[in-house]
Amino acid sequence: MDAAVIPAPSVVSDIVPKKKTKNVSKFQKAVRRIKNSSFTKFITGFINKTVQYSWTYGHIAGRLLWVFGCYTIIVALPLAMEIDREQTLMEIQYHERERMMRTKV
């Protein structure tokens, strides 16, 4: 019985030498391969430039929208209100004419 003493599992794992294996999955290898490719560097550079330019163009677009909004408030809305007022006056005149025609007959 003394000769067949089996050590605890933790002791076995300490005694048995471990194989030196890389814990790199196929996915990680593929990612590493893709990350180092020239196409990926090109795409990354393109995205960075696009973001950089979008900030510039975004500011320009924001200013243009602000100017357009001011133009709308100052010019277009009063003009639309004037056109609406004229149309309303024309409708009133039309109804007056209709009423006059009905009363004449």
Please name the residue that has the structure tokens 């004229």: 86
Better-scored residue on pLDDT, 10 or 59:
59
Task: Please check whether residue 77 lies inside any domain of the structure.
Answer: yes
**Domain assignment present for 12:** no
Instruction: Classify residue 6: in a domain, yes or no.
Output: no
Other beta carbons less than 10 A from residue 17's beta carbon: 6
Domain that includes residue 99, residue range: 24-104
Take residue 55 and report the two structure tokens written for it. Answer: 């900030």
59: tokens are 């500011």
Q: What is the DSSP letter of 8?
A: P
How far is CA 38 from each of CA 9, 29, 44, rounded to the nearest angstrom?
49, 16, 10
In a domain, residue 46? The reply is yes
- Number of domains the chain contains: 1
CB distance 54 to 62 below 8 Å: no
State the average pLDDT over residues 46-69. Answer: 84
What's the mean pLDDT when you consider all of the chain?
78
pLDDT of 43 over the 80 cut? yes
What one-character DSSP code corresponds to residue 1? -
